[in-house]
């Protein structure tokens, strides 16, 4: 077994605290990675606080991981000691089902192995995530961080980046597309940057007046306060695709009304509570779609990282020491983050 030091949740309400634990012993196909940076995703908070159901504690969250390879198993040929690599939300899958065969491991028919809080396919023990000094990951689920990307700013690409990139590609966004983004947090700010880089006209819908100027700086062409009825009405019948990244229950009808014929509202936010849904006629009258999307597969994650390197895109981050994680969680609950917290893992002390 490999000793590790992490920041763990011990129950649904107490602060995260340092915890010494063990990883599985690295096997012939494994890559051992010294973690440098790990982003804080709202999914980490949903999980450790039990919003999505019971979990086994202690639990080390974190699935936006950038680090350096320190050792490789005998069968690993792609990586060498010192390589800068990333690990996202998926660390294993069945590898043979139709979804895995298509490189869509997030939709693995047997269920993917999440980076944390999932039974490890080898040991059966719960996986532990990236708020830690070291991780062991199968070669096939390790991503290359292209040169030129700031390693700390690249960490959030491993979840917030791919989760927004994948639906933008699925709905074939490009020049001439009109894309709405609801909620400017970790996912939302990446959606704006990526959609703008793909050539789309981007409209941000936010509840936060203090994010209006930032949204334009991130690449939005229009910014609408979703509480401003007149401004919302002015955008009616104008958007082809809306990515909804809101982390809490909300009314979907105002955004749905902004879609034009054949438009799609794609849910990315994973609120544990249901949303107020659009009426049947609002689907029928303009052949609209209400959809959802989960993460992105390993090949598409690499494609996204290469796209970000080509367009010089990283997340806007607040780099924090490990000791500030609990404050960061409280700020995340208040939508007070610009726009992703990233933990400097070098500051982690037992």
Interaction site with Zn ion (CB under 5 A) = 41, 43, 93-94, 97, 100, 108, 159
The residue whose Cβ lies closest to Zn ion is 41
As given in the structure block, the two tokens for residue 256 are 């749905």
* Residues in contact with ligand NAP, shown as a per-residue x/- string from 164 to 183 under the rule CB under 6 A: -------------------x
269 binds ligand NAP (CB under 6 A): yes
What is Dmax (Cα atoms) for the chain? 63
Contact 194/183 with Cβ under 8 angstroms? no
Q: Kindly identify the residues of this chain, within the stretch 230-249, that bind ligand NAP according to CB under 6 A.
A: 245-248
Closest to 16 (Cα-Cα) out of 116, 144, 141: 116
The residue whose Cβ lies closest to ligand NAP is 185
Instruction: Indicate the DSSP class of residue 124.
Output: -
> Based on CB atoms, which residue is closest to Zn ion, 188 or 263?
188
* Residues in contact with ligand NAP, shown as a per-residue x/- string from 135 to 164 under the rule CB under 6 A: ------------------------xx--x-
Contact 39/340 with Cβ under 8 angstroms? yes
| Partner from ligand NAP, Zn ion, none contacting 198, C-beta within 5 to 8 A by type | none
Query: Going by DSSP bridges, is the β-strand pair 17-23/2-8 parallel, antiparallel, or unpaired?
Result: antiparallel
Stretch that binds ligand NAP, among 80-88, 129-137, 184-192, 254-262 (CB under 6 A): 184-192
> Based on CB atoms, which residue is closest to Zn ion, 100 or 315?
100
Q: For the beta carbon of residue 103, count every other beta carbon within 10 angstroms.
A: 15
Q: How far is CA 44 from CA 47, 61, 62, in A?
A: 5, 6, 6
Q: For the beta carbon of residue 317, count every other beta carbon within 10 angstroms.
A: 22
Binding site for ligand NAP (CB under 6 A): 41-43, 46, 159-160, 163, 183-188, 206-208, 211, 245-248, 250, 268-271, 293-295, 332, 335, 337
């Amino acid at each position: 077994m490999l000793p590790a030091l992490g920041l763990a949740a011990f129950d649904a309400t107490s602060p995260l605290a340092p915890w010494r634990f063990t990883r599985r012993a690295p096997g012939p196909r494994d890559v051992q990675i010294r973690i440098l940076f790990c982003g804080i995703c709202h999914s980490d908070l949903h999980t450790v606080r039990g919003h999505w159901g019971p979990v086994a504690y202690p639990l080390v969250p974190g699935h936006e991981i950038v680090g350096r390879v320190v050792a490789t198993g005998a069968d690993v040929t792609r990586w060498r000691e010192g390589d800068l690599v990333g690990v996202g939300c998926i660390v294993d899958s069945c590898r043979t089902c139709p979804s895995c065969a298509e490189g869509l491991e997030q939709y693995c028919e047997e269920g993917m192995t999440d980076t944390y809080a999932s039974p490890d396919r080898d040991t059966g023990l719960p996986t532990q995530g990236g708020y830690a000094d070291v991780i062991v990951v199968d070669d096939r689920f390790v991503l290359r961080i292209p040169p030129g990307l700031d390693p700390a700013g690249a960490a959030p690409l491993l979840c917030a980046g791919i989760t927004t990139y994948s639906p933008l590609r699925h709905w074939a966004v490009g020049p001439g597309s009109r894309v709405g983004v609801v909620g400017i947090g970790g996912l939302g700010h990446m959606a704006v940057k990526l959609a703008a880089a793909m050539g789309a006209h981007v409209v941000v819908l936010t509840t936060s007046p203090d994010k209006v100027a930032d949204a334009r700086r991130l690449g939005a062409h229009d910014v609408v306060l979703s509480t401003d009825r007149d401004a919302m009405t002015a955008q009616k019948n104008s958007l082809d695709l809306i990515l909804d990244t809101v982390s809490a229950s909300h009314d979907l009808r105002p955004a749905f009304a902004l879609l034009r014929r054949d438009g799609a509202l794609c849910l990315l936010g994973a609120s544990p509570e249901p949303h107020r849904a659009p009426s049947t006629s609002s689907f029928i009258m303009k052949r609209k779609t209400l959809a959802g999307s989960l993460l992105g597969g390993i090949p598409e994650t690499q494609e996204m990282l290469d796209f970000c390197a080509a367009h010089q895109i990283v997340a806007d981050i607040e780099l924090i020491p490990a000791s500030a994680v609990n404050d960061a969680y409280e700020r995340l609950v208040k939508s007070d983050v610009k726009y992703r917290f990233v933990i400097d893992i070098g500051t982690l002390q037992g």
